[in-house]
Structure 1
Amino acid sequence: MMKKSVVNISFLLVLFAFSLNNLFEIIQKEDTAENRRLNEKPVMDINELDVYPQAYNAYIDDNFSGRNYLVDLYGWINNHVFHKKSVLGKYIRGTDNFVFEAAKNLSIYTAKKTITNEQLDRMLTEFKTRQAYFDQLGIKMYILIIPSKYKVYSDKLPLLISKGKNNMGDRFIKHIQENTNIPIIDGYPVLKEKSKTENVYYKYDTHWNPLGSFYVHQALCNTIRNDFPSFPLMDTSTFTIQPFEKDKGNMKHAALDESDKDFGYTISPKNKSFKKINGYLHPAGDFTYGQYNYSRRYGSSHNEQPKALVFRDSFEGQTFSYLPEMFSEILYIWDDWGYKFNKDIVDIEKPDIIIYAIYEGYLDRILLNPSFVEADADTDEKDIQ
Structure 2
Amino acid sequence: MNARFKLLCFVFAGLLLLPTLDQLLGLSSRFSSTENRAISGIPPLNFPHVRSFVRQFDRYYKENFGWRNALFYGYSRWKLNLLGQSPLPEKVVVGKNGWFFLGNSYNRVVDQHRGLQPLSPDSARYIASHLAQRQQELARQGIRLYVLIAPDSHSIYPENLPDHLQPAPGPTRLDVLREAVSATSVPFIDIRDTLRAEKRRHVVYYQTDTHWNDYGTLIGSAALLNRIRQDQPTRPPILLSDFRIEKQRGGGGDLVTMMTVQNERKDEVFYYIQPNANRVARQTATVPNPASGFPSTRFTGPGVGRLLFIGDSFSHSMMPFMAAYFQESFFVRDKKLDTSLVSAERPDIVVVEVVERNISNLATL
Fold shared, TM-score > 0.5 on shorter chain: yes
User: How many Å apart are 1:205 and its aligned residue?
Assistant: 0.5
| Distance 1:187-1:55 versus aligned 2 partners, 3 A rule | farther
Shift of 1:78: 0.9
**1:223 aligned onto 2:227:** yes
Q: CA 1:283 to 1:14, structure 2 compared with 1: closer, same or farther past 3 Å?
A: closer
Equivalent pairs counted in the alignment come to: 356
2:87 matched to which residue of 1?
87
Q: What residue identity is the alignment partner of 1:93?
A: V
Unaligned runs of 5+ in 1: 372-385
Within 5 A, what are the aligned runs for 1:370-381? 370=364
Q: State whether residues 204 and 262 of structure 1, in contact with CA within 8 Å, keep that contact through their aligned partners in structure 2.
A: no
Query: Aligned to 1:269, which of 272, 275, 286?
Result: 275
Any idea what the Cα deviations from partners look like across 1:227-259, whole Å, max 9, x if unmatched? 111011111112111222122311224569815
Distance 1:163 1:58 in 2: 35
1:48, distance to aligned residue in structure 2 (A): 8.2
- For residues 118-267 of structure 1, the aligned pairs below 5 Å read 118-164=122-168, 165=170, 167-177=172-182, 179-253=183-257, 254=259, 258=264, 260-267=266-273
1:29-44, aligned counterparts within 5 Å? 30-39=31-40
| TM-score normalised by structure 1 residue count | 0.82
**How far 1:361 sits from its partner (Å)?**
1.4
Structure 1 residue 59 displacement after superposition:
3.6
CA distance in 1, matches of 2:119, 2:33: 31
Percent of residue pairs bearing the same amino acid type: 23
Q: Is the 8 A contact 1:94 1:156 kept in 2?
A: yes
TM-score normalised by length of structure 2: 0.87
Q: 1:221 to 1:262 in 2, by over 3 A?
A: same
Query: Map of 1:247-326 to 2, 5 A cutoff?
Result: 247-253=251-257, 254=259, 258=264, 260-271=266-277, 272-283=279-290, 287-288=292-293, 293-302=294-303, 305-326=304-325
Which of 305, 323, 340 is matched with 1:344 structurally? 340
The 3 A distance-change label for structure 1 pair 83 and 256 is: farther
- 1:68-83 matches, cutoff 5 A: 68-83=69-84
The structure-2 alpha-carbon separation of the partners of 1:141 and 1:98, relative to structure 1 and needing over 3 Å to count, comes to: same
* Partner Cα distance (1:8, 1:56) in 2: 29
Provide the aligned C-alpha RMSD in A: 2.8
Shift of 1:357: 1.0
| Unaligned ranges ≥5, structure 2 | none
Q: Distance in 2 between the 1:268 and 1:225 partners?
A: 23
What residue identity is the alignment partner of 2:352?
Y
Per-residue CA distance 1:177-213 (angstroms, 9 max, x = gap): 2x31111111211111112221000111111001011
- In 2, the alpha carbon distance for the partners of 1:306 and 1:352 equals 6
Q: SS in structure 1 opposite 2:208?
A: coil
